[in-house]
Structure 1
Amino acid sequence: MSQTSFSADWLNQFSDPYAVLGLAIAADDRRILKRYRTVAKILHPDMPGNSEPPIKELATQLLARLVNPAYQQLKQEKERSETLATLRFRVRRFNQEEPLLPQSASARQLLQVPPHAIEMFYEQAVAHLAELQFQPLDQFEAITRQLNELNLVYLYLKMGEPIFREKRTGIVATGQTKSPVSPSPVETAQAASSYARRHYQRAQVYIHNANWSPAIAELRDAIRLEPDKGEYHSLLAKVYLMQNLTGMAKVHFRQALKLNPQDPLALEYVSRLKLVLDQPKPVVSSATISKSAGNKLFGLFTRKP
Structure 2
Amino acid sequence: MSFEINQGLFQFGFTDNHAILGVRPDADFNTIRKRYMKIARRLHPDTCPFDDPRQKELGKQLLAKLVSPAYNQFSKENERREYELLLKTMGDRVVKEQHTMRLHGEAAAQLRTAGNFRQLYDTLLEERVEQEYESPEKALERIGEISELNLVYLLRSRQGSAPPPPPPPAKKPEPAQRPTPQPKVSFVDKACDRAAALAETQNYASAILELKDAVKREPNHPRCHGLLGSMYLKQKQPKLATPHIKKALQLDPAQPEALEAKKELDKMGGTSTGKGKTARNSKGGKKSDKGGGGLFGGLFGGGKKK
TM-score range, shorter chain: 0.3 to 0.5
Q: Which has the larger radius of gyration?
A: 1
Calculate the TM-score normalised by the size of structure 2.
0.45
More helix by percentage: 1
Calculate the TM-score normalised by the size of structure 1.
0.45
